[in-house]
Amino acid sequence: MNAKRFLELLHLLLAALYLWFVLFGKWAKRGDPDESAFSADGGAGFGIIAVVLGVMLVGLALMRIAGKSKVLPGLGVEQLTIALGLAATLNVIGYIVGWLAVFPTGTGWGVAAAYLPASMIPQIGLLTLSGTEPGTGIRPLEAGQRRVYSAIAIVAAAGVALFPFLTWLKSGSVTLAAFDGRSGNPTSGPRLAYILLILGVIVFVAGMMRLRPRGLAEPGPNLLLSHALFAAALSALLLPLATLISVFMKDGLDPGIGLWLGLVAGLVLVVVALAENKSRGAVGA
């Protein structure tokens, strides 16, 4: 049992635990029976996405054990483990502090227990990448390419941060932004905007720094800025998507313009990150 094998098995264990908790655990305490991941009164869109992420994380763990590294052009098992693990963690946080607050109830044991393995999974990818030699075939970006990618990311990141200030949910004549969370208020908003604001500001600042003549230093030899952008972009896309699915599963709720625009902004960030990753071709050894 060496360190590499230990991390492989730990990745599989954490991913399996996360999937088991979100798939078979309860998401909301609403009497008997309590609600599960796929229920409109339980996990709703957040539960559906959590289960999908869990399956993907287990798949990545099995690929790691099988010795596979490349998954998509410019994205390896380690980079995807970081991105999906972060998305899984923020999806759980977003549900507990955000969506669950829209319809006050207790937090189910399944989603609460899923937070621990989800939060540990990204560290597996970071540990693996920190111990690998720089990958071969990594192509540097030309200055013009870097500025184009950065400019698009800046605009999309501004949208991720600002669109939650617009109408996120509609119920009859009541409109709520994603910042409108108030404890004990029967018309409380989803409170997801704080997560999105943080993600948007981080990407915006990083994009501005990349516009400088010398750009911005990479996080590591196999973890490029485009990989970090993909990790943030995936969460920026999945949080509005989970909310949108949840809205469509509930009677009397409609999505607002801010939710639609936030979804588009997150999607643009994902596309930019994938395009840059493909153009550079960096995968951990």
Q: Are residues 160 and 41 in the same domain?
A: no
% of residues, the chain, pLDDT over 90 = 47
Most confidently predicted of 7-11, 72-76, 117-121, 177-181 = 117-121
What is the C-alpha to C-alpha distance for residues 191 and 99, in angstroms, rounded to an integer? 7
Quote the mean pLDDT of the chain.
86
Over 60: is that where the pLDDT of 161 sits? Answer: yes
Q: Are residues 90 and 161 in the same domain?
A: no
What is the C-alpha to C-alpha distance for residues 224 and 229, in angstroms, rounded to an integer? 9
Q: 285 and 248 in contact (C-beta within 8 Å)?
A: no
* pTM score over 0.75: yes
Rg (the chain; Cα; Å): 19
CATH code of 263's domain: 1.20.140
First to last CA, the chain: 20
Domain with 257, as residue range(s), is 143-280
> 158 or 97: which carries more pLDDT confidence?
158
Q: Are residues 161 and 250 in the same domain?
A: yes
Q: Are residues 152 and 125 in the same domain?
A: no
State which of 73, 101, 130 marks the end of a domain: 130
What does each C-alpha distance from 55 to 108, 154, 204, 260, 282 come to in angstroms? 21, 32, 31, 27, 24
Query: Which region among 17-26, 217-226, 244-253 has the lowest average model confidence (pLDDT)?
Result: 217-226
Q: Are residues 150 and 83 in the same domain?
A: no
What pLDDT is recorded for position 285?
A: 47
Q: Are residues 119 and 42 in the same domain?
A: yes
SS3 call for 127: helix
pLDDT tens across 108-125, in order? 889 999 999 999 999 888
Q: Are residues 34 and 156 in the same domain?
A: no
> At 136, is the pLDDT very low, low, confident or very high (cuts 50, 70, 90)?
low
Domains in the chain: how many in total? 2
Q: Are residues 108 and 178 in the same domain?
A: no
Q: Are residues 72 and 188 in the same domain?
A: no
SS3 call for 174: strand
Residue 259 lies in a domain: yes
Residue 216 lies in a domain: yes
Q: Are residues 94 and 201 in the same domain?
A: no
If you average pLDDT over residues 135-152, what whole number do you get? Answer: 83
State the Cα angle at 99 between 105 and 177, rounded to 5°: 125
Structure tokens at 203: 């990407």
If you average pLDDT over residues 4-25, what whole number do you get? Answer: 91
What pLDDT is recorded for position 89?
A: 95
Q: Are residues 171 and 84 in the same domain?
A: no
Residue 285 lies in a domain: no
If you average pLDDT over residues 62-69, what whole number do you get? Answer: 85
Q: Are residues 123 and 236 in the same domain?
A: no
Residue 136 lies in a domain: no
